Amino acid sequence: EASFVLNSKMRVGVMTASSNSGAQCVRELAGKCEVRAIFRSEAKAAPFRDLPIEIVTGVDAANPGDVFEGCDCSVIVTPHQDFGKDADLACSMIRAARGHVIFVGSWTVRCPDTIIAKRFVAPEALVKGTCLRSGYFSGNFAMPHPDLTIPPLDPKDIGRVAAAIALDPEPHLGKIYDIPGPEQL
């Protein structure tokens, strides 16, 4: 049975580290624990070279291999490369993850009959850790959306929440957090 102790020796893997949520998570964790930031390309990793973190490049979400080996906790952020494949890619990353898994998915899983939500049911079912259901991201709308009944959330805030959980994951084991707006933070 794993025991989590908050110290600088803890290693947290973050994939997709270049996403808005993943990048903020990496920045929040840098200097507080060992961080393995996982990127698809060197170009995506370049802005993070000044941080005290381990950078791994050339990793494909469809086949992440053993990139999480040695991690005590893994933060998996849904990749939005391809709307039709993002759930499969998330499942692949979750299967490769080690330790406590924190999955940043979508609030819509609680409404599983919608097209958007159906794709997140399978990744959440694989998680042995914590699920963060993120709601609508403010960056997805160029202008206010009149039908939006949930306050939009900055994706960086979800990254901050993921980092806080990664530093003390045990109390969050098996929990699902719906964070549809700033009041939930």
Judged against a pLDDT cut of 60, whether residue 11 lies above it is answered with: yes
CA 176 to chain centre: 13
Choice between 60 and 115, residue whose per-residue pLDDT is larger: 60
* 68-120 residue pLDDT tens: 999 999 999 988 766 678 889 999 999 999 999 999 886 555 566 666 677 78
> Mean pLDDT across the stretch 60-71?
96
* 123-147 residue pLDDT tens: 989 999 999 987 655 555 444 555 5
> Mean pLDDT across the stretch 23-47?
97
- pLDDT at residue 154, as a whole number: 79
Judged against a pLDDT cut of 90, whether residue 6 lies above it is answered with: no
**Among 50, 2, 3, which residue's Cα sits nearest to residue 26?**
50
